[in-house]
Structure 1
Amino acid sequence: MSPLGRVAYNNSYQKSLDMAPFEALYGRPCRTPLNWSEPGERVTFGLDLVIQAEEQVKFIHDNLKRAQSRQKSYSDKRRRPLVFEKDDHVYLRVSPMKGVHQFGVKGKLAPRYVGPFKITEQCGPVAYRLELPPHLAAVHDMFHVSQLKKLPEEVIDTSQIQIQPDLTYEEKPIKVLDQKQRSTRRTINFYKVQWSNHSEEEATWEQEQFLRTKYP
Structure 2
Amino acid sequence: MPFGLANAPAVFMDLMNRVCKPYLDTFVIVFIDDILIYSRNKKEHEEHLTLILELLKKEELYAKFSKCEFWIPKVQFLGHVINSKGIHVDPAKIKSIKDWAPPKTPTEIRQFLGLVDYYRRFIEGFSKIAKSMTKLTQKNVKFD
How does the TM-score come out when normalised to structure 1?
Answer: 0.23
User: In proportion to residue count, which structure has more strand?
Assistant: 1
User: In proportion to residue count, which structure has more helix?
Assistant: 2
How does the TM-score come out when normalised to structure 2?
Answer: 0.31
Larger Rg: 1
